[in-house]
Amino acid sequence: MLDVFQTISGFFTKGGIFMWPLLVCSIVSLTVIILRTLALREKNVLPLTIESEMERLAPGANPERLFRIVQHDASSLARIVRVALAHLRWPRSENVETVQTRARHEMVRLEKGLVVLEVIIGIAPLIGLIGTVSGLVHVFASLGVSASSADPKLIARGISEALNCTVFGLGIAVPSLIGFVYFSKKVEVLSVEMESLVTDLLSKCYHGRLAGGRAKTQVPTQTVTPAEPATPEIAPMA
């Protein structure tokens, strides 16, 4: 274990001053990957309870139970569904626009941190390259100063140490790129699933209504009054 630590320490020390910004990049990249892994778990974005209730809801039925479920849920799907149910008295087209606006906001929340990975993917290899070039400058600048500095073995050792920065930079960029592509695809899949669920929910809620959003038959208005915060009125569907 001690030998491994000494090897890593020697690799880092010989890389020069540019190894420090690369170390910061590696820590930031690892932190973002861990946080996004936790945040993008499916149960945190698409809770099974809400998804099951949305699929169970019959066309034209009162979504009062669904509203109670999503009222205190912090998932992305719950926030979008709350917006949809809070504006059921609006015409469908206006409600859809409101839901789409909220969905775009949730997409930004899900993609939070991915831009950091994208930046690290670009700058880590460049910092490594700068460190390598800086090391090579010092190696070749020492040539001719003394007879010992012209020893091919010493030159080769100096070049290999200068390349440590490039190796470290690429070692940071590759896993960061994998994480960026994976999380981007996962956000895309989750957004498509949410869009499908909410579109189906709106179709069920507006089932039997006229184009203007009014019910075909006169139905007494019911008010949903669960525990705080206050619940907007939701008219039962025909």
Q: What is the model's pLDDT at position 121? A: 96
Q: Tokens in use for 49?
A: 């309870």
Q: What is the model's pLDDT at position 108? A: 92
Q: What is the model's pLDDT at position 147? A: 53
Chain segment 41-50, per-residue pLDDT in tens:
988 899 999 9
Q: What is the model's pLDDT at position 221? A: 38
Q: Which residue has the higher pLDDT, 188 or 143?
A: 188
Categorize the per-residue pLDDT at 53 as very low, low, confident or very high, splitting at 50, 70 and 90.
very high
Nearest to 197 by CA among 100, 54, 64, 63: 54
Nearest to 132 by CA among 165, 160, 102, 180: 165
Chain segment 120-139, per-residue pLDDT in tens:
999 999 999 998 888 888 77
Mean pLDDT of the chain: 82
- The answer, yes or no, to whether residue 19 has pLDDT greater than 80, is yes
Q: What is the model's pLDDT at position 144? A: 60
Nearest to 233 by CA among 97, 85, 92, 65: 85
Q: What is the model's pLDDT at position 232? A: 46
pTM: 0.78
Q: What is the model's pLDDT at position 47? A: 93
- Cα separation of 83 and 142, whole Å? 69
For residues 79-103, one letter each, b for 16 or more C-beta atoms within 10 angstroms of the residue's C-beta and e for the rest, the string is bbbbbbbbbbeebbeebbebbeebb
Chain segment 59-114, per-residue pLDDT in tens:
988 899 999 999 989 999 999 999 999 999 999 999 999 999 999 999 999 998 89
Chain segment 155-164, per-residue pLDDT in tens:
777 777 778 8
User: Averaged over 175-189, what is the pLDDT?
Assistant: 95
Q: What is the model's pLDDT at position 151? A: 66
Q: What is the model's pLDDT at position 139? A: 77
44 phi, psi to nearest 5 deg: -85, -20
Q: What is the model's pLDDT at position 237? A: 40
Q: What is the model's pLDDT at position 116? A: 95
**What string of DSSP letters covers 20-72?**
HHHHHHHHHHHHHHHHHHHHT-HHHHS-HHHHHHHHHPPTT--THHHHHHHTT
Neighbours of 166 (CB within 10 A): 19
Chain segment 188-238, per-residue pLDDT in tens:
999 999 999 999 999 999 887 655 545 443 333 343 444 444 444 444 443
